[in-house]
Chains A and B, each alone.
Chain A
Amino acid sequence: MSVLVFVEHDGGEPTEPALQALTFARGYASGDPVHSLAVGLEPDGLGAYGVGTLHVAEHDVFGSYAPAAVAQAVVELAGRLLPTAVIAAGTDAGNEVMAHVAAKLDLPLAANCVEATPGDPARVTRVRWGGSLLEEAALHAPVKLLTVQPHAVAAIEVPGEGPAVERFAPVLGDADLTVRVVGRTGESAGGVSLSDAKVVVSAGRGAGSPEGFAGVEELAGLLGGAVGCSRAVTMAGWRSHTDQVGQTGTKIAPDLYIACGISGATQHMAGCKGAKAILAINVDRDAPILSSADYAVIGDLHEVVPAISAEIRKARS
């Protein structure tokens, strides 16, 4: 009995969601060996996360991202190890690779789990609506395929030695080589990115127009933060979709999120639940966002936001 974990890494550095998936898998395995699979390079430091054996798949195609080829390596290794479960992080790439694995094996896949209990069937709790709702489900399969919702569990180290490393060259078919990254485009121009910003200042329909963002931009500038917006704003064509905070936009995790004239639809809150603190500025005292926010100012953003900027300038002079 064992559990196999696909570990994403960035040039040999395991990603944080991958370490969280390893921690999750260790709990699921409850003492059984944890194997991990990485492609291309050998990620560092996995011994501290309870990995007994690290399998490194080697092939020229792994020089760039190739989801079907990665999935075939997972399938081949799973065929040899016969694990009770195959687990990956519920990231874009983790979910993509596991969907390929599930399709190749014709097995069910439970994506973005926050809890799982082994058994036949296994019981899982998984995320719906970008985290606004949870689903308890039974997973009926000889091998359980799961991805782990990022940040649902913290990555926790355990005492342990470096894992045994085994290299293998998976047998890949033409179809596995067809889907691979062949280029790169749209390199970001710099500036504070929405997903990394320490402060994000957003406005929603309450901004009233594209020009209505002037005050929000000024405040974000003063705080060294990024400007965001709600889905209503991008659907109206007022701002680019790259500025959208939400379930179908960017997920943010700033120290402070200032949401101006945003009612707080679940679609929006799914994108900002990673914020350490939320300040809502809204004319409506009963807006749903006030039950998710830490602080609130009741008032029109066009009056309140410039007053805050002026107060910051005063405090700094």
Chain B
Amino acid sequence: MRMLVCVKRVPMTGGKIVLTEDAQAIETRHLGFTISPHEECGVEEAVRLVEQHGGESVVLTLGPPEAVEQLRDAMAIGADRAIHLETDVEEWDPQATAAAIVDAIRADEAASGPFDLVFFGNEAADSGNYQVGTRVAYALGRPVATGLRGVAVGDGTVRCEQEAPGGRDVYELPLPAVVTVKEGLNLPRYPSVPGRLRAQRKPVTVSSPSRPPSRLEKLRLVVPEGQGKEATILGHGPDAAPAVVEVLRELGVLS
């Protein structure tokens, strides 16, 4: 089977978001970066499916040159090779992102055959646009199920489980298909040292698509009000217990 996982490089924001002076981005000088959490589970799932059924798993990102770190991370836990659509610092809107990914998928499929499944995260941790996977599915003429916490490949089909109030809804799609997944789908493995070393030698295909004008055009970022509240300190250590119980009573949660 052939699996493709599309991932995004995002900063690990920690406790407080600070913006750059021009309010166009998060100040990341002191931050680390990671694969957006939903997509990390997509990588793990694709790797498991290839371990189970044989074949190849490919990881793709659209992002700055440094995003090769996230491609190496994905290859360290088992993806076989990578496609890097390299960009400058400008952010790409969801339509432009989807179009560039579609071109890359078509090129790879022309050379190596169709991907049975293309994985996306349900939404990127940073921009949260909820749409790139669905746009790619339409452009390729493939069915798409979103927000999945269960993916099982059968004979020419994929069984998908989507979280719904009080349980999970089940879909069955014919392959090839596109799926968008959520954290909780699996527990991604931690990359081993040999895995990291192997990842350094795995191939990365790099290209630089040009960015069309944004139709959802970011103007500036704003940190919402409400941060910077001052908590009332009820006390230190176990001695604070009576004051806590008093608060519980005031809040009406102590029946």
Interface residue ranges, A against B (CB under 8 Å) = 65, 67-68, 92, 95-96, 98-100, 102-104, 106-112, 121, 123, 125, 127-141, 147, 175, 178-188, 198-199, 223-225, 231, 234-235, 237, 241-242, 244, 247-249, 255-256, 263-267, 276-277, 279-280, 287-300, 303-304, 306-308, 310-312, 315
Contact = CB atoms under 8 A, between A and B. Distances in A.
Contacts of B234: 279, 295-297
> Chain B: interface residue count, which band?
35 or more
A133 B232 contact: no
Nearest to A314: B245
Contacts of A136: 218-222
Contact of A277 (B95, B237, B251): B251
Given A184-B170, A304-B240, A109 B131 contact: yes
A95 B130 contact: yes
9 contacts: A99-B130, A134-B222, A180-B171, A185-B168, A186-B161, A241-B184, A280-B231, A289-B15, A290-B231
Contact of A295 (B126, B166, B232, B239): B232
A96 B26 CA distance: 27
A259 B9 CA distance: 29
Contact of B169 (A127, A131, A184, A241): A184
Given A134-B224, A291-B227, 17 more contacts: A92-B162, A96-B146, A133-B221, A137-B217, A179-B143, A179-B144, A179-B173, A185-B170, A231-B37, A244-B183, A266-B14, A277-B251, A279-B247, A288-B14, A290-B231, A292-B229, A312-B248
Contact of B223 (A133, A139, A183, A315): A133
Given A223-B253, A248-B183, A311 B169 contact: no
Nearest to A278: B231
Given A255-B251, A256-B248, A303-B238, A109 B94 contact: yes
Nearest to A109: B131
A265 B15 contact: yes
Nearest to A92: B147
Contacts of B29: none
Contact of A186 (B129, B167, B218, B248): B167
Interface stretch (B48-56, B106-114, B134-142, B191-199): B134-142
A107 B171 CA distance: 27
Nearest to B127: A128
A296 B234 CA distance: 6
A100 B180 CA distance: 13
A292 B244 contact: no
B236 interface: yes
A300 B237 contact: yes
Contacts of A224: 255
B242 interface: yes
Contact of B233 (A186, A264, A298, A308): A298
